[in-house]
Chain A
Amino acid sequence: MTKVPVQFTLNGREQNEFVDSGSTLLAALRDKLGLYGTKAGCHQGTCGACTVIIDGSPQLSCLTLAERCAGKSVTTLEGLTGNGALHPLQQAFMEGFAAQCGFCTPGMILAAKSLLDRNPSPSRDDVIDAISGNICRCTGYDPIINAILTAAEQLRGARKSA
């Protein structure tokens, strides 16, 4: 398979990689860069487990060709943790028991982060819509929605006091 160079921003850092032409961003993240926070679920854009943030919006890394990411900014779950401290969303998921098996959690958190970046005060329906592309097979949706709303509140508070 032909190797092609791709230059993109990954979790705030400049990244230069040679990827297999025609391979997905999901494969590059997991198999090449060892970033296992992004989960490989259905590989067909149905489950949302592979959700990452590309240029500010949640997108499916299993349906994104790595070559297409040239010049773009990609955020994965690993990009949320700064200085060893959990992101308020991660904290809220942990405290609210919003992760059961945990497989959908990274995708849920990134879909939620993208929502909160755009809309710091979402309604419950806004949250439900934002994670409607992410399937939780444990069906623990209520704690997930509550955790996102809790994190939103904390982030608003942090912004006010900043």
Chain B
Amino acid sequence: MDNFNYHRPSKPADAAKAMKKAKDGKFMSGGMTLLPTMKQGLASPTDIIDLGGLKNSGVTAAAAKVVVKAGTVHADVASDKGVKKAIPALAKLASGIGDPHVRNRGTIGGSIANNDPAADYPAAVVGLGATVQTSARKIPGDKFFTGMFETALKSDEIVSAVEFPVPKRAAYVKFPNPASRYAMVGVMVAELKDGSVRVAVTGAGPKVFRVPEMEKALQAKFSADAIAGIQVKAKGLNSDIHASPEYRAHLVNVLARRAVAAAK
């Protein structure tokens, strides 16, 4: 790991200031991705601005929406009674990220800002129709993830919270890589309170994407059979030593059906 200047601001405005001053600064939340990336020599920021000092963590769960502050660790979302009751699919998703040690440190804000194509949270943000609150504005979940490891965030903009509307029913099912537990494919299916249905897929493509054909079929009839014949195209999907694009395309259908069956 190369040397860097370490900053630990206690206010978002100071964090933004430190970022502006830095030659090549990086915000760090839990550090569960940034630090390994730096140790591998894949990133070498001049400055790390640790957002832990903002003490911006906690969950508020109400009947209409669940608000998760950006610094909330996965373990806290997974075990929160309010989340378990309001959006059990979200608690379950958080409980399956990485391993316990990672869940004790990794945060929702860090996860979505990093936008790893195989991360779980992007499927929740898009699949549940969430809104991302930042230090400057509110960004609809559909517009937040712009490309592989790319988001709509400006360089000095910080995620402050994610607001999830409570759905009628939802489920997240993933096929984890057995070593890393990153999603080879993960599918969030949700029927929202307005009757609309969302199907969001992570791990399969360069970034999270929706499957409009499945959404339409499920809106007509919310059953696994309704989407049995709907396949996503393999072209453009991720390919690595773990799975071919064809296999990932196949998994999207299988996992989407399982999610529909499990939705509650």
Instruction: Mark A residues whose CB is within 8 Å of B.
Output: 1, 4, 21-22, 43-46, 48, 51, 54, 57-60, 63-65, 67-68, 111, 129-130, 132-133
**Which segment of B1-9, B160-168, B210-218, B234-242 sits at the interface?**
B1-9
Q: A46-B36, A57-B104, A111-B100 are in contact. List 20 more A-B contacts (CB 8 A).
A: A21-B6, A22-B1, A22-B6, A43-B39, A44-B36, A48-B101, A51-B101, A58-B100, A58-B101, A59-B101, A60-B102, A60-B105, A63-B36, A64-B31, A64-B105, A65-B35, A68-B31, A130-B100, A132-B100, A133-B101
Of the candidates B4, B32, B52, the one whose C-beta lies within 8 Å of that of A63 is: B32
Query: B50 at the A/B interface (Cβ < 8 Å)?
Result: yes
Q: Are B52 and A132 in contact (CB under 8 A)?
A: no
Q: Are B6 and A63 in contact (CB under 8 A)?
A: no
- Give 6 pairs: A residue, B residue, CB < 8 Å, sorted on A: A59-B101, A63-B36, A68-B8, A68-B31, A130-B100, A133-B100
Q: Are A45 and B102 in contact (CB under 8 A)?
A: yes
Contacts of A65 in B (CB 8 A): 6, 31, 35, 50
Contacts of B5 in A (CB 8 A): 21
Q: From residue B52, how far is it (CB to closest CB) to chain A in Å?
A: 6
Contacts of B105 in A (CB 8 A): 59-60, 63-64
> Cα distance A54–B258 when bound, in Å?
37
Q: From residue A98, how far is it (CB to closest CB) to chain B in Å?
A: 19
Instruction: Mark B residues whose CB is within 8 Å of A.
Output: 1, 3-6, 8, 31-32, 35-36, 39-40, 48, 50, 52, 75, 98-102, 104-105, 180
> Cα distance A65–B26 when bound, in Å?
15
Q: Are B6 and A45 in contact (CB under 8 A)?
A: no
Interface residues of A, dominant DSSP: mixed
Minimum CB distance partner of A48 in chain B: B101
Whether A48 contacts B36 in the complex (CB less than 8 A), given A59-B104, A67-B8, comes out as no
> Cα distance A132–B96 when bound, in Å?
11
> Cα distance A22–B238 when bound, in Å?
35
Contacts of A44 in B (CB 8 A): 36, 39-40
Q: From residue A6, how far is it (CB to closest CB) to chain B in Å?
A: 11
Q: Are B50 and A133 in contact (CB under 8 A)?
A: no
Contacts of B36 in A (CB 8 A): 44-46, 63
Minimum CB distance partner of B180 in chain A: A46
Whether A45 contacts B100 in the complex (CB less than 8 A), given A1-B3, A63-B105, A65-B6, comes out as no
Q: Are B99 and A132 in contact (CB under 8 A)?
A: yes
Q: From residue A46, how far is it (CB to closest CB) to chain B in Å?
A: 8
Q: Are B32 and A45 in contact (CB under 8 A)?
A: yes
Contacts of A130 in B (CB 8 A): 100
> Which of A45, A46, A58, A60 is the most central at the interface, judged by chain B CB atoms within 10 Å of its CB?
A45
Q: From residue A106, how far is it (CB to closest CB) to chain B in Å?
A: 13
> Cα distance A70–B100 when bound, in Å?
22
Q: Are B4 and A22 in contact (CB under 8 A)?
A: yes
Question: Nearest 4 CB-CB pairs, A to B?
Answer: A133-B99, A133-B101, A57-B104, A44-B36
Contacts of B98 in A (CB 8 A): 133
Contacts of A64 in B (CB 8 A): 31, 105
Whether A60 contacts B8 in the complex (CB less than 8 A), given A22-B1, A44-B36, A65-B31, comes out as no
Q: Are A63 and B35 in contact (CB under 8 A)?
A: yes
